[in-house]
Structure 1
């Protein structure tokens, strides 16, 4: 009985924090993207800037690829520096590439090619696609 009121306050605070986190994450995932179509016309690439309470100082964003033959499926990268998402793309039979980032059409995975890229704590919530990042010893980093 002695701890009933403090426990109720802690549970209420946790519920409010979870609600705010969920709302902010949803807002980040629904932001208006900058879009461009791949040279083949089959894929839509979208650059979305992150911001709000979860990324208060901005400067981060993510790329999402949409296969226009299956537009319900969206492939999102983890968070990367906004300035690095240059949507001038190259496409061949195997992949879509922008500088420092490659999307494999066959495996539906990303390869991040910046050797100084770092994980962000929100990556597990933002990215819904498997990804790897290169190391300078791999030889395919920029």
Structure 2
């Protein structure tokens, strides 16, 4: 594999802006495991190997979440995920693939059963941010380990 370009060097201001957004969004979450589920699931849907590698490693540093990672792509059928986590994963899928069906009222209601309005916005921002990272990584040809030699 070959990196198309190192966007971080080509436009360091854009990279810094994404880092600041990510820092702000991540800081809003007390449940860091749930945040990693969002990042992993969106990265799976977007085919972003770089982000998938990074965020599965981040989750594993938080504890033994191996089975959760293995079953994340089939979360609907897995007993490992709580109703709250499943609501967030459903929202993650709808926001990531927003052009397909938007965010149906029942998905919104399911999430709101567990989260207040501000927390809902925080979830949307987390999903938006990882989708942005995914699109940058895929478009610039990033892959796991592509920056290891820097």
Instruction: Give the structure-1-normalised TM-score.
Output: 0.28
Bigger proportion of residues as helix: 2
